[in-house]
Amino acid sequence: MGLPYNYIAIEGNIGAGKTSLTTKLAEEFNAKLVLEEFADNPFLPKFYESQDRYAFPLELSFLAERFSQLKEELNSRDLFQPYVLADYFISKSKIFAKANLNADEYKLFNTMFELMNTSLPKPQLLVYLHLEVEQLQKNIKKRGREYEQKIEDKYLVSIQKSYFSFIKQHRKLRIVVVDTSDVDFVNRPADYEKMKSIITSPYAPGIHHIKA
């Protein structure tokens, strides 16, 4: 059994487990794995210390990095790896910018975003992993990235609202919103199989809500 779509993006809030799930699926289906390269971004630790000061350079740098990576990865398809699995998609930049920037900054950012967005293919399936803020915080604490430990609940809520706003506005895409509050696809094989079954199912364009 293969994947029903050649290009799948798995998204979610900070700490939702998107990288872990994407990696496991890519290994099983021999897919090209595209993971967001954020660890070396010099603005990220600074942003969590002073969001107002560093939000704009952070979002611009992420947009540039994401665009560059996706353009390279999606245009250099490997004949022996027919599938692409990514733990983000380019619209993530717009979602976070909407939550982090003031009106004037966002207007300028959005102009640049639209220029880049038109030249990239859209994922044939977008999977959004939904967790409540309390569980996100537990996951953030568990993985132990120092610069993330001061993330406040209200920031995670704002990002969550920004994701949901985007999803509601893009009903022509094929989007699956999965409530993963009762699953542990990293440590429980049965839960991973459940998630795999959801992601390998065919869907009509539109928004689909599923309780895993």
pLDDT tens digit sequence for 110-143: 999 999 999 999 999 999 999 999 999 999 999 8
pLDDT tops 70 at residue 77: no
SS3 content of the chain, % helix, strand, coil (to 5): 50, 15, 35
Check 52, 78, 87, 182 and give the catalytic one: 87
CATH number of 7-36+44-211: 3.40.50.300
Task: Report pLDDT for 112.
Answer: 95
Residue 144 is predicted with a pLDDT of 85
Q: Give domain limits for the chain.
A: 7-36+44-211
**Catalytic site includes residue 104:** no
